[in-house]
Amino acid sequence: MSLTDMGAEVVKLLPPEAAHTATIKALKLGLGVPVRRPQMDPMLAVRLPKSGLVLPSPVGLAAGFDKNCDVPDAMAKFGFGFVECGTVTPKPQPGNPKPRLFRLNEDRAVINRMGFNNYGLDYFVRHLKTYRGDVPVGANVGANKESADRVADYVTGIEAVAPHAHYVTINISSPNTPGLRGLQDRSSLETLLAACGKADRAGKPVFLKVAPDLDAQAIADIVDVVRGPGAWLSGLIVSNTTLARPDTLKSAHRGETGGLSGAPLLSRSTEVLAAFARALKGEFDLIGAGGIASAEDAYAKIRAGANAVQLYSAMVYEGPGLAERINRGLPALLKADGFGAVADAVGTTL
């Protein structure tokens, strides 16, 4: 076990949100941060077809860990091929009442109802401007809970972050802001994407992050909108946390409200990813998220249609060295199936 992973074990003795806050503070001080980014196997290099993003590894850090863009430089050194910060809203907001973050240890899972707690766009952009790392950094934007015009919030967010980020993510799938997921409905999504398409004057790639709690009709509607008013998008991130509670959950916290992430989300999020991949037929980039805790999990997402993947919750249990371990394991999996690069394996189980 590395010193970094040992530190993560110590932090886990704290309550979940206090542990996260302590982790961010330590990273800002450089504690436990590798001196340099680890070398990547050339097999892992990825160029996303529509967005053109070039990644040294397909393994990215999902939004939610670094909400305020405090430590993208530090996280880039842990082996991530890209780092996504946020979710950020135009105005600062405290989020939902505490406690709002729960470890489901027996299930290798997390439930959160954070509610887009963040310091707002001004703070976020000041920090984003200072990023000097050598992997792409994305900015995940959302709407304020009390906003009278949520579409305008997304436009404001995109206009603010796009000049300084490598890509932008429109997050309409958090379950912890009342009514937000309604923006995934066909007519609301058409309105949102038409407005946001005019906001990205910097011409950066833009992704739409969707929920795993979508039925076949909802997936079909999103696909139609993405091909229509959303044709300017680079792709989708599939998926956010789930409101579902599988019967297999054992933890005493399983009844807490909020979004469930971690191991129990792997199967469902991969099924929804595959459904989008079959429908979109490579027309858009797909980033797979949800439940990834190993090289095998990441590989399953790639073979189900993901051009790249993201993780976050598994670091609670596996430590910050997880991305590097996945990077070490993926080449062997690719070679065993006769693939010479990540791109060769994308969608091969569809």
Q: Catalytic positions, please?
A: 174
Please list, in sequence order, all residues whose beta carbon lies within 8 angstroms of the beta carbon of residue 258, skipping any fewer than 6 positions away.
100, 102, 111, 112, 113, 114, 175, 176, 241
Q: Which residues pair with 311 in a beta bridge?
A: 61
- For residue 309, how many C-alpha atoms fall within 13 Å in the half-sphere facing its CB? 32
The pairing of strands 308-311 and 285-289 is parallel
Collapsed DSSP state (helix, strand, coil) of residue 347: coil
Are the CB atoms for 199 and 159 separated by under 8 Å? yes
DSSP secondary structure, 261-278, as one string:
EEGGGHHHHHHHHHHHHH
For residue 350, how many C-alpha atoms fall within 13 Å in the half-sphere facing its CB? 21
CA dist 189 and 281 (Å) reads 21
